[in-house]
Amino acid sequence: MADLFAPDEPATQANAPLADRIRPQSLAEVVGQEHLTGPDGAIGRMVAAGRLSSMILWGPPGTGKTSIARLLADAVGMHYMAVSAVFSGVADLKKAFAEAELAARTGKATLLFVDEIHRVNRA
């Protein structure tokens, strides 16, 4: 052990937190809301077309909103960015927009996930 704070072993699936190990790896693995995420659902059709619309994912903590957003970005080949409205401000959003604009110049669209959006300060 060369460094007191360095992990003894590299992070692997076996020693990842439980939440990471059981998180769905594809949209098909998401349990519940099949009427939306299934092939005939609104989200399933958007993924099949390769184009996403703006949407609001609502529900209590731990229901998979962030996981679904990540899976949607992966499914359509978009760059995923997450911002927390609790810990971020206008400057962070402007930075995210600038990064998305830069990615768009290279032909890569960006999915921006704003967590806790109801807590955004209107000022």
- Write the CATH number for 42: 3.40.50.300
pLDDT at 113: 94
Q: Are residues 43 and 95 in the same domain?
A: no
Mean of pLDDT values over 81-99: 90
Please say if the pLDDT value at position 123 is more than 60: no
More confident call, 117 vs 71? 71
**Portion of the chain with pLDDT greater than 70, in percent:** 87
Identify the band that residue 4 occupies on the pLDDT scale cut at 50, 70 and 90: low
Q: Give the single-character DSSP code of 78.
A: P
Q: Does 8 fall in a domain?
A: no
Q: Tell me the per-residue pLDDT of 28-84, one tens digit each, with 9 for 90 and over.
A: 898 888 999 899 999 999 999 999 999 999 999 888 899 999 999 999 999 999 999
Q: Are residues 54 and 37 in the same domain?
A: yes
d(CA 104, CA 106): 5
d(CA 5, CA 27): 36
Identify the band that residue 86 occupies on the pLDDT scale cut at 50, 70 and 90: confident
CA distances from 22 to 27, 44, 80, 94, 121 (A): 13, 22, 20, 33, 34
pTM, entire model: 0.79
Q: Does 3 fall in a domain?
A: no
Residue 55 has a CB neighbour count (10 Å cut-off) of: 13
Mean of pLDDT values over 88-106: 92
Rounded to 5 degrees, φ, ψ at 30 are -70, 130
**Portion of the chain with pLDDT greater than 90, in percent:** 52
Contact predicate 83/92, CB 8 Å: yes
- Domain total for the chain? 2
At 112, which amino acid appears? Answer: L
Q: Does 48 fall in a domain?
A: yes
Residue 67: both structure tokens together: 């996981």
The whole domain housing 47 covers 13-77
Q: Are residues 29 and 46 in the same domain?
A: yes
Which of helix, strand or coil describes residue 115? Answer: strand
Q: What's the helix, strand, coil split of the chain in %, to 5?
A: 45, 10, 45
